[in-house]
Chain A
């Protein structure tokens, strides 16, 4: 699913050059559930951005579902993001003036799918997340856990090949964390490849594989014992 070969990324801010990724090579198989761990400044955010085609890289190759993600134009990158990846963020990132249903339907709008189909698909995914009865609610009327479930529905609605989550439980209490992780596991069980960036051990423990980053390099890569 993900094949990274010697990917490097350097930021230059003023006189400082920061090597965020130092020749990272990294393969994720289909249907895997990988947690990327690391302290702040370890390069895990950069890795997430490169994986999510939100950011470019300086050297190396990155194949996503067999498609090279090199030298993309912004428009191409947008198309691949829409087609391949579902994002889940720590702060949910729902659009505040849109209802839950509209939020979930939005990625399909950018795919050019008509309104009716969008809404029925969005409703289906909200239903799967147990949020159907909140379809017409605005994000401010939802709790954190509910918001994150809407966000997951939005990430899933395009049927991506990869679910990419950035500290998805960082803003949630333990009960909600557990439920969200359970959702991830369910989707993973249904065949979805999941990559989660986290600093929480509880999240890492629920993943099948843990990759630890330090100073832009992978320092540890291990599999958890099956649950």
Chain B
């Protein structure tokens, strides 16, 4: 289609001549694109926010712990407590190749428990766990000072501790140096070797600030846990889903602890991958909803264009008749009508697009103090929009508008100059 300057001036003349109509038609398209952009940007912002909150832990981590059996098996009565221990750890490590990182954990108390952590006269509470160095693959860490546990700590059963921010604050003050100093946990002395900080707090800030990590071997010994393990935190090798890994681990543990194969209560598990998937699916739904609303709005705009063009062509019957009588070909008539639509939709769409992006930028500006703050507890991140998607939506809109104008344009083409010029 050749778009010459004359066609341009022709179309601009027409659009200018019917200002109100032009504006009303344009506003339908403008609004459609604007709403789509803002909704998509918001949707992305919320999705990013939720995912950010979840990202404190590895998104495919799996947790397994022992419960009580619910079925009799091999002469054993139901209600037997399953206690996982270090031999299970060895068995899992040697027999299941899909494990990328296995972190057996023992836990002394949940946080907000007893006030049994002290330093001099200072007292506080903490979530005290015994861990392997591998735990840092499950909970990504940013150790600010000192270090996390290492294999020597485990092998030599060193009495060392990595403490969270609140513990540090409570026992040593905000600026106090803690590394190398001792704290007492239930009367046992541990030397602080590191200050723990997660890479992201997510929505668990309070809990994460209250953690104290000890070597698992030391923990089991000084707190009389023997070989016992409270639960496993596991990450599968890439390419394996944590669902599959769970089934393998559970089945091995069931055999080792003589649990009936179909006793589903004996071992408990929690799977962040499933949780993640659930939320991802939720967003697929939200996205579908946004697109449905956006496209419906745009479609209304497109039908509006089609409608208006029908009316406009009816009003301009006489003009088309004149044009035809002086040599306008049918294709030049169609071209003029389509070009008029394209100009209108293109301009309105572009303005809608720019305003939508601007609105997102303004929203970003006003929410930045929340979204840019890693510690803020908001379910919203900076609104974000994929420009490829926008460009595709824009192109589709233009195409739809042109298709919707074919009908009015063919009306214009069929106008009989005789009738049109006779009609007074």
Residues of A within 8 A of B (CB): 45, 49, 52, 54-55, 74-75, 78-79, 81-83, 87, 89, 91, 93-98, 106-107, 109-111, 115, 154, 158
User: Which of B326, B331, B421 contacts A106, CB < 8 Å?
Assistant: B326
A91–B420 CA distance with the chains assembled, in angstroms? 12
Establish whether residues A54 and B417, one from each chain, have CB atoms under 8 Å apart when the complex forms.
yes
The CB with the most chain A CB atoms within 10 A, among B13, B325, B327, B424, is that of: B327
A155 (CB) vs chain B CBs: closest residue = B326
Establish whether residues B322 and A95, one from each chain, have CB atoms under 8 Å apart when the complex forms.
yes
Establish whether residues A93 and B318, one from each chain, have CB atoms under 8 Å apart when the complex forms.
yes
User: Which of B325, B413, B421, B422 contacts A81, CB < 8 Å?
Assistant: B325
7 A-B residue pairings within 8 Å (CB atoms): A54-B416, A54-B418, A82-B326, A93-B318, A110-B328, A154-B326, A158-B327
Q: Is B332 an interface residue (CB 8 A)?
A: yes
Chain A: minimal CB distance from B342 (Å): 20
Q: Encode B137-179 as 1/0 by CB contact (under 8 A) with A.
A: 0000000000000000000000000000000000000000000
B420 (CB) vs chain A CBs: closest residue = A93
Residues in B whose Cβ lies below 8 Å from that of A98? 13
Establish whether residues A78 and B322, one from each chain, have CB atoms under 8 Å apart when the complex forms.
no
Residues in A whose Cβ lies below 8 Å from that of B319? 95-96
Establish whether residues A97 and B17, one from each chain, have CB atoms under 8 Å apart when the complex forms.
yes
Q: Is B5 an interface residue (CB 8 A)?
A: yes
Chain B: minimal CB distance from A159 (Å): 13
A89–B324 CA distance with the chains assembled, in angstroms? 14
Establish whether residues A52 and B325, one from each chain, have CB atoms under 8 Å apart when the complex forms.
yes
Residues in A whose Cβ lies below 8 Å from that of B417? 54
Residues in B whose Cβ lies below 8 Å from that of A93? 318, 321-322, 325, 421
Residues in B whose Cβ lies below 8 Å from that of A91? 421, 424
Establish whether residues A109 and B322, one from each chain, have CB atoms under 8 Å apart when the complex forms.
no
Establish whether residues B329 and A110, one from each chain, have CB atoms under 8 Å apart when the complex forms.
yes
Given A75-B331, A87-B326, 10 other A-B residues pairs in contact with their CB atoms under 8 A: A45-B418, A54-B324, A74-B330, A78-B330, A82-B327, A93-B321, A94-B322, A96-B319, A98-B13, A110-B329
B16 (CB) vs chain A CBs: closest residue = A97
B318 (CB) vs chain A CBs: closest residue = A93
Establish whether residues A89 and B327, one from each chain, have CB atoms under 8 Å apart when the complex forms.
no
For the complex of A and B, the 8 pairs showing the least CB-CB separation, nearest first, are: A82-B327, A110-B327, A78-B329, A107-B326, A75-B329, A74-B330, A93-B322, A97-B17
A158–B326 CA distance with the chains assembled, in angstroms? 9
Residues in A whose Cβ lies below 8 Å from that of B17? 97
Please tell me the number of chain B residues within 8 Å of chain A, measured between CB atoms.
26
Chain B: minimal CB distance from A35 (Å): 20
The CB with the most chain B CB atoms within 10 A, among A78, A89, A158, is that of: A78
Chain B: minimal CB distance from A176 (Å): 19
B13 (CB) vs chain A CBs: closest residue = A97
The CB with the most chain B CB atoms within 10 A, among A110, A111, A115, is that of: A110
Chain A: minimal CB distance from B2 (Å): 10
A83 (CB) vs chain B CBs: closest residue = B327
A79–B332 CA distance with the chains assembled, in angstroms? 12
Chain B: minimal CB distance from A43 (Å): 13
Q: Is B247 an interface residue (CB 8 A)?
A: no
A56–B282 CA distance with the chains assembled, in angstroms? 64
Chain A: minimal CB distance from B273 (Å): 65
Q: Is B386 an interface residue (CB 8 A)?
A: no
Within 8 A of A (CB), among B305-332: 318-319, 321-332
Establish whether residues A81 and B5, one from each chain, have CB atoms under 8 Å apart when the complex forms.
no
Chain B: minimal CB distance from A13 (Å): 13
A4–B283 CA distance with the chains assembled, in angstroms? 74
Chain B: minimal CB distance from A188 (Å): 21
Residues in B whose Cβ lies below 8 Å from that of A79? 327, 329
Residues in B whose Cβ lies below 8 Å from that of A96? 319
Residues in B whose Cβ lies below 8 Å from that of A97? 13-14, 17
Residues in A whose Cβ lies below 8 Å from that of B330? 74-75, 78
B330 (CB) vs chain A CBs: closest residue = A74
Residues in B whose Cβ lies below 8 Å from that of A87? 325-326
A111 (CB) vs chain B CBs: closest residue = B327
Q: Encode B382-424 as 1/0 by CB contact (under 8 A) with A.
A: 0000000000000000000000000000000100111001101
A49–B422 CA distance with the chains assembled, in angstroms? 12
A75–B222 CA distance with the chains assembled, in angstroms? 99
Establish whether residues B418 and A109, one from each chain, have CB atoms under 8 Å apart when the complex forms.
no
Establish whether residues A54 and B325, one from each chain, have CB atoms under 8 Å apart when the complex forms.
yes
Residues in B whose Cβ lies below 8 Å from that of A158? 326-327
A192–B416 CA distance with the chains assembled, in angstroms? 27
A158–B6 CA distance with the chains assembled, in angstroms? 18
